[in-house]
Structure 1
Amino acid sequence: MKPLDNRRELLLLFRKYLNGEATPDEQRFVEAWYDSFDQVSENAADAAIPDEQLLEKRLEQQIRQKINERESPTLWQTLRRTLLSGKVAAAMLLLMLAGAWYYLSKPRKPQPEALPIALQDLSPGGDRAILTLSDGRQITLDSATTGLLARQGNTMVSKVADGLVSYKKEGSAPNQDYNTISALAGGKYSVVLSDGSRVWLNAESSITFPTAFAGNERSVKITGEVYFEVSKDRQRPFFVQVGEVQKIKVLGTRFNVNAYGDNGAVMTTLLEGSVQVNAQQAGIAAVTLRPGEQSSITRTGKVSVQENVNTEEIIAWKNGFFQFENAGIQTIMQQFGRWYDVDVSYEGKIPDQRFNGKIDRNVNASDALEILRFTGVNFRIERLPGKDKKGVIVVMSE
């Protein structure tokens, strides 16, 4: 178990649980926490464990014993299966968020019913995208049937599965057609390009590309956030153009580009291989990244490189998760806003807690938000009929 920021408050809650003084909500909190981490090895020598971790280990053993005493094995196993199989269980992973524990030592204010779920809840995003063909025609990919979608010159465009479009070149005739795939707000999508490279689009992102690559290079343009697995071809380097800010040169590699406007910079994170990042500003030298490094280029051309980044966190969206490492509430809500297709507003002071955790993106907004309320931050979902977005998530600090 990772060290907690406010261990004292968490230990007080454990004591309440063991003494039978915890409320039903607090009991569920402790039991979800107990189920969310790897237990300390039974063979580990207590003498080698720091005092605080030893205390946590002993408390964990007492909690396990109390659970077994309080519930029959059959009932507890049923409850455990219910928690772990339901959508709420995915959101409960955020109980490990740093700072979530401090609320227990503060006087609790009566809180309004912030999430009238039956009326206001928001479903998660999904495979939602628009394909724009070279002649301007548009195809709504999420409603299109599997099979051939269009012919673009000598290239066959097919929907091969939900969330995936494939381009297959036939013959060697040159092809100058360009297509664009745009993942909508609350959407994501993936495409296999004609050279076999695969691309994943996050919500509110797009890629423009030739239906078949010709000449001695492969070049695409993107907006938003896009993850690439580029097919190796040393004779034809792969280029990614990001607005007027940067151009990336690739031979064959896996990397993520985050170019959302609200970040203030374009961040390129390399997982495998090698990429050369070129700022589109005169006099700024290109940066070559190694695996585990992330470049950041601002709109004014300021370049920096961070080493040893958490690449799992960076591409969590592609793997179906929200994942945060020492993230502020605004960073979290930016991701929620794009995925649930809502605006975000704040009432009162913006909370300053920092969070670490992971949530399955296939949960309703209420499930993802509910767990954050343990930090003392409250939320309200408001539907806005007739607006561009589904509604608003209002962040209300205590």
Structure 2
Amino acid sequence: MPQEKDHYRQLLERYLDNTCTPQEAKELFDYLQQDASNRLLLEEIRASFIPPADAMDAGSAPWSGRVKQQLLEKIRPPKVVPLYKKRWPRVAAAVLLLAVASLGGWRYYRHVKQAPTAYAQSELSLQDLPPGGNKAVLTLANGATVLLDSTGNGAISSQGATKIIQANGLLTYQAGNSHTATVLYNTVATPRGGQYKIVLPDGTRVWLNAASSLRFPTAFNGQERSVTLHGEGYFEVAHRQLPQGGKMPFKVQLADGAVEVLGTHFNIMAYPDEAEVRTTLLQGAVNVQHDTYTTRLAPGQQATWKTAARSSIRVTHTDTEEAIAWKQGYFRFNRAGVADVMRQLQRWYNIEVRYEGESSQREFWGRIPRNIRLGEALRILELSNIHCSMAGDTIIVHQ
């Protein structure tokens, strides 16, 4: 019936715009599961595109008006293999937002083959591997370590006049009134498969992503606040006044650079196994320094430079949602390569990854929830023509 089709087209459009309610999303998924003709909508979304170079800028998404119109109008394409079953509801939701592209211009993958099942019965333990969660290790000034997770609550220790309190995945430093000249440093380190949130003594909030660490003083009593980051962290820096007047600067030291702020929100991604270091500004202003280069960012801009190399700083306007997607609970991809996707999964699920076959040139857009099991995440990639198998604690990507 035309009215019914119009209704579900509108639901799909709202889903692509990320404006539908959970109830509307459930209604859409239920409709898609009713019969094969409805499930063809999923194939339309899973079909792969790449935009012409002159039609996409660095921050644009693949769902252009032209693509969306094609998706919404084509309700009866040729018969294809259904892309999900009812036992994969969260996978189906993610597939709605995941698109795969191959170099070579706009095109559909018109011949869709059923992906081989990558999981044998003996491999269920790895397939059922849960996602990462709130876990980290706190190293105190005397070298003692404390395991942090989501279950521990209450006071952990004192460092000078500062009390350390843990509650539900949050570590809070409550500064006292002491102004001792002795500076004590603590380090919070997340393993692969871990994340943690910290409130520093000045009220600055830091979210640490997996395989990251933050070293910081337990009290900020000098002329500036300085911390050291390895990996990835999102910062909401609190304003603080100097005793003689003026704002106390806040610096994030990196392996080969630094970011200086007065009070702002920004994300730094500085993993040694990534090709670039990226600083993304959401609010306020920051000065970014690398080698002999320094630049100032405005909100919505991103500064990048080559990891462990002497290179200039490149500044672009960017999709800030992509930069902080991990903090919001999902992976967000914008023209990401297969290796880029797998590195994020590797850090979050604490797995090893090996590649077989020729290097793939495919690129990905979309997002995957971070709260699903590894098998579900791999199933999403399989539906997008990335085929994986498992060997022990290693995922083998067949390119």
Structure 2 residue runs of 5 or longer lacking an equivalent are 1-11, 14-31, 47-63, 78-83, 241-245
- Provide the aligned C-alpha RMSD in A: 3.3
State the distance in 2 between where 1:264 and 1:371 align: 25
1:111 equivalent to 2:116? Answer: yes
Q: What is the 5 A alignment of 1:219-298?
A: 219-233=226-240, 234-243=246-255, 245-279=256-290, 281=291, 284-298=292-306
Question: 1:164 and 1:32, CA in 2 relative to 1: closer, same or farther beyond 3 A?
Answer: farther
- Asked if the contact 1:90–1:360 (Cα under 8 Å) also holds between the matched residues in 2, the reply is no
- Asked if the contact 1:239–1:248 (Cα under 8 Å) also holds between the matched residues in 2, the reply is yes
Q: Determine helix, strand or coil for the equivalent of 1:120.
A: helix
Q: Structure 2 counterpart of 1:133, which letter?
A: L
- Asked if the contact 1:240–1:247 (Cα under 8 Å) also holds between the matched residues in 2, the reply is yes
Out of 370, 374, 395, the residue aligned to residue 397 of structure 2 is 395
Q: Structure 2 counterpart of 1:232, which letter?
A: H
Question: 1:361 and 1:27, CA in 2 relative to 1: closer, same or farther beyond 3 A?
Answer: farther
Q: CA deviation at 1:101?
A: 8.5
State the percentage of identical aligned residues. Answer: 36
2:204 aligns to what? Answer: 197
Out of 209, 221, 226, the residue aligned to residue 214 of structure 1 is 221
Q: Determine helix, strand or coil for the equivalent of 1:262.
A: coil
Deviation digits for residues 8-44 of structure 1 (CA, Å, limit 9, x no counterpart):
xxxxxxxxxxxxxx999976853556899xxxxxxxx
> Normalising by structure 2, what TM-score?
0.75
Question: 1:101 and 1:392, CA in 2 relative to 1: closer, same or farther beyond 3 A?
Answer: farther
Out of 74, 88, 92, the residue aligned to residue 91 of structure 2 is 88
Q: Structure 2 counterpart of 1:30, which letter?
A: L
Deviation digits for residues 131-189 of structure 1 (CA, Å, limit 9, x no counterpart):
001111111001762010101100000002x2210000112332511100001111100
Structure 1 residue runs of 5 or longer lacking an equivalent are 3-21, 37-48, 64-78, 384-390
Out of 117, 126, 150, the residue aligned to residue 120 of structure 1 is 126
1:332 equivalent to 2:347? Answer: no
1:378 aligns to what? Answer: 387
Q: What is the 5 A alignment of 1:148-167?
A: 148-160=155-167, 162-167=168-173
State the distance in 2 between where 1:312 and 1:327 align: 15
Q: CA deviation at 1:247?
A: 1.5
Q: Determine helix, strand or coil for the equivalent of 2:146.
A: strand
Q: Determine helix, strand or coil for the equivalent of 1:318.
A: helix
Q: CA deviation at 1:343?
A: 1.2
Between 121-130 and 110-119, the greater mean CA deviation after superposition: 110-119
Q: CA deviation at 1:128?
A: 1.2
State the distance in 2 between where 1:366 and 1:169 align: 44
- Asked if the contact 2:239–2:263 (Cα under 8 Å) also holds between the matched residues in 1, the reply is yes
Question: 1:255 and 1:56, CA in 2 relative to 1: closer, same or farther beyond 3 A?
Answer: closer
Question: 1:54 and 1:93, CA in 2 relative to 1: closer, same or farther beyond 3 A?
Answer: closer
1:57 aligns to what? Answer: 72
Deviation digits for residues 221-251 of structure 1 (CA, Å, limit 9, x no counterpart):
01001110001235210011002x1121110
State the distance in 2 between where 1:334 and 1:291 align: 27
Q: What is the 5 A alignment of 1:36-75?
A: 56-60=71-75
Q: Determine helix, strand or coil for the equivalent of 1:317.
A: helix
Deviation digits for residues 317-364 of structure 1 (CA, Å, limit 9, x no counterpart):
111110001111110001000001011111111222111011110001
1:30 equivalent to 2:40? Answer: yes
Q: Structure 2 counterpart of 1:259, which letter?
A: A
Q: CA deviation at 1:109?
A: 7.8
Deviation digits for residues 68-94 of structure 1 (CA, Å, limit 9, x no counterpart):
xxxxxxxxxxx99x789x543443344
Between 357-366 and 346-355, the greater mean CA deviation after superposition: 346-355
State the distance in 2 between where 1:134 and 1:218 align: 18
- Asked if the contact 2:179–2:221 (Cα under 8 Å) also holds between the matched residues in 1, the reply is no
Q: Structure 1 counterpart of 2:205, which letter?
A: R
Deviation digits for residues 174-229 of structure 1 (CA, Å, limit 9, x no counterpart):
25111000011111001000100000101000000011111111010010011100
> Normalising by structure 1, what TM-score?
0.75
- Asked if the contact 2:197–2:207 (Cα under 8 Å) also holds between the matched residues in 1, the reply is yes
- Asked if the contact 1:255–1:270 (Cα under 8 Å) also holds between the matched residues in 2, the reply is yes
Q: CA deviation at 1:266?
A: 1.9
